[in-house]
Structure 1
Amino acid sequence: MKKIFIFFMAVTMLSACKKALDVDNLLAYDPEQIWNDPLLADAYLTNIYPSAFGNHNVSADRNSDQLSGIAFPQDAVTITNGGLGNWNYNPIRLVNQALLDIPKGTLPDATKNRILGEAYFLRAYFYFGMVRTYGGVPYIKIPQDRFTDELNVPRNSTKECFDFMYEDLDKAISLLPKRNLPASSSWGKIDGNFALAFKGRMSLYKASPQFNPNNPWDNTYWADAYTVNKKAYDDLKAQGYQLVADYANTSLTERNTEVVFSVINQFPDKTASWDNGIRPLSFSRGNVAAAPTLEFVKAFPMLDGKLYSDPTSPYFVSEADFLKSYWKNRDPRFNKSIVWNAKVYPVSGTITGYRQYTALGIANALDNNGINPNSPERSTNNNVHTGFFILKNSDLTLTQANVLQYGIDYVLMRYAEVMLNYAEAANETNHPTEALDILKQIRIRAGIEAGTSGNYGITATTRTQIRQAIMDERNIELCFEGFRFNDLRRWRMFSLLDNKGKTGLEAIAIEPNGTEMSLSKARPLGQSNQLLEENFKYVPLSVPQTGNKLNILPEKYYFAPIQQSISANASKLQQNKDWGGSFDPTLQ
């Protein structure tokens, strides 16, 4: 049993009578009780973790081009409807209370420093979420009253906020233990490595086009981003962090050498809904939350690391022929991330050789998609299903009956991200060799062929080309982990989403001569798993069908407006300039 749950059980027993851990109710907050007791002090901070780090969430990438879902219809973001909002002053209040009271307690110095380090990290982490969303916000450093938060103050500039976040992270790094080992009882708590790596992530935002639209790639912040990210890469590497051998196991093998920080799950104490949201409905107990798009399927390279449309690749396929064999000779990460029509799908409870079909009239009605007029049934899944499902991080040992028991830890940061952060900063600071070396390491682990040049399909040589190669590699390597939308935002690349729909792929069974197979013949063949991928033709299909919807992401969406419900009671809280105010959220 994972140690953290033993810890929570102990805390519950200790605090049952006095409700000392009802920390959100500051009227009942008793610092003398909490900050004189190491167990209760730990619990106070640990209880804030869920609001900071969340858990597995397939919907996080619905905002991007990776998964189905029109997240931004017309006027999805306004000053009244919330939209991209992320106003996190409630947990910040609790963190500030801890920072005020911890030094007054009688905890051992080592414990006191560690918990202070966690608190400083959490404050920077919460503020980063808001600064990434709004630009500068009031950087409150003292605990506010539970019922009368005094936020009627001017916003700190975005630069000031970054300075304060750096200051908090530097304090955290100096106070935290450098590394919480996987076998220790401290695993799952913030350590110095996570704080350093997160500072590296934050530094990319500070240097990014989102915050520097007038000088996106040559501003002085890139030098700092390089220094921080190189240190994170070197320090973690020296401690034994490395890519796991098999990409499929980056999360499924818990506490591996690639995990920098993870949220601990364990059935029955704490579970996630990942498998229940990604699986075909016939193998889950809830509707599919989102499914991979054809656009994203096309983004995966071939086995040699080049795109299918690259005529220099031995795996080159013309656009006209791509859909006839899209599953063949792909980057091995494709096979480990995506379920497609007629793919062998060894989920627990199925027979050996079971194939997952999506074709209308052949697949289980819960799993199909399409508009085949020859089918007597009509799919009810066309607004979400795409002809693909997510395989990455799926626990195939779970049957449909126990799919809600998903207890795999949620990896919030892994070494592959640290590497790619370093590569990005290196490329923008005239260190292309270092950037290309990182890309090669990522592709070697992926299983990409070295090729005669030994470059693993990487042809980029210029700064601009290497930048694009890094962007493309992040899209594949970190897929379905919640990065894509925020990456597009910090790169100011909403043009890839704006006025764009999303596409799926309908499968229709065919005879060897290419004519459509009758469903009366195809259905029993599918039921006995005899239809292979090449026994179908594939037709692009708009997703969702209803209304032919498009994502609408204008320039002003790079920073969200402060909601009217917040600003109405805070006259000094300036609105962002693109939303009717005067505040500039950038670093210009």
Structure 2
Amino acid sequence: MNYIVKCLSSTLLLGATMVACNSDFLDTKPLDKVSGDAVWSDQNLAEAFVTGVYNGLRDGILDQMSLDCQTDNALYSFGKQDVTEANVSPSNLGTVKNTMEWGAMYARIRAANIAIANLAKPKFDNATVADRMKGEMYFMRGYFYNQLLRYYGGIPIIKSPYTLDNPDFTIARNTYEECVNAIVSDLDSAAMLLKGKTLTSGRATQGAALALKSRVLVYAASDLHDIPTAKAKSTVIAAATKPELLGYVSGDRVARWTKARDAAKAVIDLNQYGYKLNLTAPVSAAEGQQNYINAYLSRNGGEADGIFLKYYIRASFDDWGSWYPRNNMPNGYHGWTSSEPTQNLVDNYEMMDGTKFDWKNPAHASAPYENRDPRFYASILYDGAQWKPRTPDGAGIDPAGQIQMGEYEVGSSAAPTKYSGLDTRNSSIENWNGTWTGYAIRKFMDPDPTLVDQNIRQEVPSIQIRFTEVVFNYAEALIALGQEAEAKTWINKIRFRAGMPAITETGAALVTRFQNEKNIEMLFEEQRFYDVRRWMTAPATQGKQAQIIIISGKLKPGKTVTTYKYSKDNYNYTYSVQDLGTGKENRKWHDKIYFLPISRDEINRNNKLVQNPGY
């Protein structure tokens, strides 16, 4: 909204200035700008405008800090997060500005509104192209509104560009239900206009519109947005003066879940997506790991899982997504380990037989990285993990190219010397940017062994929506509707692809298993932050301190080593789990952060805005 005010204020000021000038000046066209009439009269210029709207897409995990760092999944290496410490307020947004800033979203919405208005009656002679571009803009408007909706609850819905004829820039928030209906309407329009259209990679499609619709409707049916349910679970929501801004105050929840189920099934019925989701039994662990890598890299068949992606090129120096290796490689490779997986997350990976990992089990505790879900090995860099060859300054110290997250003994077991792993905060390579948790991210990292220099970028796309999410949406709706057998069929398709056995639970146990399965499969894809809120499980999961692993490797009696390498023949390893500590972070949950605060500046600019409860 503030973007709209600023733009129109500048226009009014410019108009006032120009009145005092002579007519010759008024007739002069700027040499470095294209007029609005020229843009919408030329197909190529209109295309360029539409393409520019896509620049509002987030980098997601491929940014320097993953949104998962504001959940129990991860820790941001370079500072506390106000959201995880429940310190956000209208005057202290924390990282809100970096994730879902109000003005930035409305700037993109305004651009989409301008495009839709001008493409309604195109001035260039190609109605088919105009309809396709209009479909893209309906999708993008729905996309940006949904980003705001799942962050703040109900927001002002503006469906036409502000003009000089409308000087009142104050507008109230629409109800949550009105927002859902408006977004669904946009996505239905997009799906209709994009049906059968062939688009280049990274552009909205019919499938993307229908997939986003399924996300919107699954959220809408969830506990957080069913106000009678939410009030029973949260005193903050119960005290809200405008609960209709946060969810449905009445209505048929079964009907909402039915709409969510049908929306997901519509995507499935397109038969355009579904990477290896036709299996009836688990693949091998090795194949499961590779299947998962292919899916998140969008390669080797994994492209069939990607519905809507943001792409990068190495030549683009300003794209944070292409800098992902530097941002997240371990410090022993000169990376920053910006987003660090926590022990809380690692403990959620099941054993290969589908049972829970348990530190109280001696076999598990003595070898915590053995015999785990194949997605663990594809997602996490842990002590002893085989990774890329080191950079020249580390290759002589670690010729094996293995991750070193512990403190080890070298020399003779009779007179050992302490050695700090290259990927610890005591690394001899770099000691200022090592992981605090004992883990680093592997997921989304290009495995090309030549991509180890911190100045080399990668071209792995950022997943905005993938088909597997739609399958989870479908299964979640089926569970809510009591159709558990069909739900498990689809959940197990995902598990079989990863090499994991079928789940058999029912009732509340099935819900818990489903929620963990989604977190593991969709890790670092900006799902967890919203899921724990809409499921209202956040008080139990997000208030816990981030846990870390302490690893010690002691030489076995009679052993001598000159260069450290992970080896159970030479070493006895011990693992100790502990809280990170309040000196680094002090995580806690407060129900006000089910919804994030609207900034005080926006409230001051627009006296019709109602602040979220608890702020």
TM class by shorter chain equals 0.7 to 0.9
Residue deviations 1:139-158 (CA, integer Å, cap 9, x gap): 11111259998441222111
User: For residues 165 and 425 of structure 2, what CA distance do their matches in structure 1 show?
Assistant: 50
1:97 pairs with 114, 129, 133, which one?
A: 114
2:74 aligned with 1:64: no
The letter for the 2-side match of 1:98 is A
Q: Which residue of 1 aligns with 2:405?
A: 358
1:481-518 Cα deviation digits (max 9, x unpaired): 221111111111211344321111111112337x9x9x
Q: Secondary structure at the match of 2:339?
A: coil
Q: In 1, distance between residues paired with 2:431 and 2:505?
A: 44
1:202 to 216, 239, 245: 216
Distance 1:438 1:179 in 2: 29
2:226 corresponds to which residue? 212
Which deviates more, 328-337 or 246-255?
246-255
CA distances 1:514-552 after superposition (whole Å, capped 9, x unpaired): x9x9xxx67x331x5657796321122432x46263222
CA contact (8 A) 1:341 1:533 kept: no
Q: Which amino acid aligns with 1:303?
A: M
**1:12 corresponding residue in structure 2:** none
Residue 387 of structure 1 is aligned with which of 431, 438, 450? 438
Pairing partner for 2:304 from 249, 254, 257: 257
Q: Structure 1: how far apart are the matches of 2:531 and 2:164?
A: 35
| Alignment-mate amino acid for residue 608 of structure 2 | K
> Does the residue aligned with 1:535 lie in a helix, a strand or coil?
strand
Structure 1 residue 557: deviation in Å? 1.0
Give the corresponding residue for 1:125: 143
* Counterpart Cα distance in 1 of 2:297 and 2:566: 28
Secondary structure at the aligned position of 2:142 is classed as: helix
Moved more, 119-128 or 62-71: 62-71
Pick aligned residue for 1:189 from 169, 189, 203: 203
Distance 1:147 1:415 in 2: 44
State the SS of the aligned residue for 1:246: helix
CA contact (8 A) 1:499 1:550 kept: no
Q: Indicate if the aligned counterparts of 2:332 and 2:430 stay in contact, CA closer than 8 A.
A: no
Q: 2:267 aligns with which of 232, 253, 266?
A: 232
8 A contact 2:171–2:608 mirrored in 1: yes
Note closer, same or farther for the CA distance 1:140–1:126 as it changes in structure 2 (3 Å cut). Answer: same
Secondary structure at 1:547 match in 2: coil
Post-superposition offset of 1:268: 0.8
Q: How does 1:309-320 map to 2 (within 5 A)?
A: 309=358, 318-320=360-362
Instruction: Give the TM-score taking structure 2 as reference length.
Output: 0.78
- State the alpha-carbon separation in 1 of the partners of residues 326 and 227 from structure 2: 40
Conserved? CA contact 2:264–2:470, under 8 Å = yes
* Alignment equivalent of 1:538, drawn from 566, 570, 575: 575
Superposition pairs of residues 304-453 of structure 1, within 5 angstroms: 304-309=353-358, 318-347=360-389, 353-360=400-407, 361-364=418-421, 367-369=423-425, 384-397=435-448, 398-401=450-453, 403-448=455-500
**Alpha-carbon distance in 2 for matches of 1:484, 1:437:** 23
Which residue in the other structure is 2:505 paired with? 460
| Structure 1 counterpart of 2:538, one-letter code | F
| Map of 1:86 onto structure 2 | 101
Secondary structure, counterpart of 1:387 in structure 2: coil
Q: Distance in 2 between matches of 1:280 and 1:376?
A: 13
Pair 1:404–1:546, CA change in 2 (3 A): farther
Residue 312 of structure 1 aligns with which residue? none
Name the residue aligned to 1:248: 293
Evaluate the alpha carbon distance shift between residue 61 and residue 37 of structure 1 in structure 2; reply closer, same or farther with a 3 A threshold: same
Mapping of residues 156-167 of structure 1, within 5 Å? 156-167=174-185
TM-score normalised by L of structure 1: 0.81
- Cα distance change, pair 100–18 in 1 and its aligned pair in 2 (3 A): farther
Provide the residue aligned with 2:611 in structure 1: 575
Residues 261 and 411, structure 1, Cα contact 8 Å, conserved in 2: yes
Residue 40 and residue 381 in structure 1: after superposition, are their counterparts in 2 closer, same or farther (change >3 A)?
closer
CA distance in 2, matches of 1:559, 1:240: 33
Counterpart contact for 1:427–1:435, Cα < 8 Å? yes
**Partner deviation per Cα, 1:59-85 (whole Å, 9 max, x = no partner):** 221011111245235452111112446
- The answer (yes or no) to whether the contact 2:155–2:179 under 8 Å persists in 1 is yes
1:251–1:376 distance in 2 versus 1, CA, 3 Å: closer
Are the counterparts in 2 of residues 306 and 457 from structure 1 also a CA contact under 8 Å? no
SS at match of 2:563: helix
Task: Name the aligned partner's letter for residue 110 of structure 1.
Answer: T
Per-residue Cα deviation, 1:298-332 (whole angstroms, up to 9, x for no partner): 100111122124xxxxxxx7345533111111111
Structure-2 separation of matches of 1:31 and 1:65: 47
Counterpart residue identity of residue 86, structure 1: E
Q: Distance in 1 between matches of 2:154 and 2:48?
A: 31
Higher alpha-carbon deviation: 196-205 or 490-499:
490-499
1:532, 1:265 → 2: CA distance? Answer: 44
Quickly say closer, same or farther: Cα 1:19–1:529, change in 2 above 3 A: farther
Distance 2:256 2:452 in 1: 50
Which residue matches 1:290? 339
2:352 is paired with a residue whose SS is: coil
Residue 472 of structure 1 deviates from its aligned partner by 0.8
> Aligned partners of 2:167, 2:59: CA distance in 1, in Å?
24
CA distance in 1 between counterparts of 2:509 and 2:361 reads 23
Are residues 234 and 347 of structure 1, via their aligned partners in 2, closer, same or farther at CA, if it must alter by over 3 Å?
farther
Please tell me whether the aligned partners of residues 347 and 399 of structure 1 are also in contact (alpha carbons under 8 angstroms): no
- Partner SS, residue 482 of structure 1: coil
Which one is further off, 528-537 or 244-253? 528-537
- Whichever residue aligns with residue 334 of structure 1, its letter is F
In structure 2, runs of 5+ residues without a counterpart are 1-29, 231-251, 278-289, 408-417
* Structure 1 residues 140 and 318: alpha-carbon distance in aligned structure 2, compared to 1, 3 A threshold: same
User: Deviation of residue 204 (structure 1)?
Assistant: 0.9
Classify the secondary structure of the residue corresponding to 2:468: helix
Distance 1:468 1:401 in 2: 41
Aligned to 1:168: 186
What corresponds to 1:111 in structure 2?
A: 129
Checking the alignment, whether the CA contact within 8 Å between 1:345 and 1:356 is kept in structure 2 is: yes
Does the 8 Å CA contact 2:314/2:322 hold for their aligned counterparts? no
Structure 1 unaligned blocks of 5 or more: 1-16, 21-27, 310-316, 449-455, 580-588
- CA positional deviation for 1:90: 1.2
1:172 counterpart SS class: helix
Tell me if 1:32 matches 2:3.
no
1:393 deviates by 1.8
CA distance in 2, matches of 1:378, 1:289: 14
CA contact (8 A) 1:218 1:428 kept: no
Change (3 A) 1:471 1:499: closer
Structure-2 residue corresponding to 1:555: 591
Q: CA deviation at 1:400?
A: 3.0
Give the equivalent residue in structure 1 for 2:602. Answer: 566
Percent sequence identity is: 25
**Could you tell me how far 1:93 is from its partner in structure 2?**
1.1
Distance in 2 (alpha carbons) for counterparts of 1:52 and 1:82: 20
Q: Distance in 2 between matches of 1:534 and 1:393?
A: 32
Find the counterpart in structure 1 of residue 52 from structure 2: 47
> 2: CA distance between counterparts of 1:533 and 1:258?
43
Shift of 1:99: 1.2
Secondary structure at the aligned position of 2:229 is classed as: coil
Compared with structure 1, are the counterparts of its residues 73 and 431 closer, same or farther at alpha carbon in structure 2 (3 Å cutoff)?
closer
Q: Which residue of 1 aligns with 2:322?
A: 272
Deviates more, 1:188-197 or 1:144-153: 144-153
Instruction: Evaluate the alpha carbon distance shift between residue 474 and residue 403 of structure 1 in structure 2; reply closer, same or farther with a 3 A threshold.
Output: farther
| C-alpha deviation, 1:115, in angstroms | 0.6
Equivalent residues in 2 for 1:485-504, closer than 5 Å: 485-504=529-548
Contact 2:132/2:197, CA 8 A, preserved across alignment: no
The 8 Å contact of residues 31 and 101 in structure 1, kept in 2 or not, is answered as: no
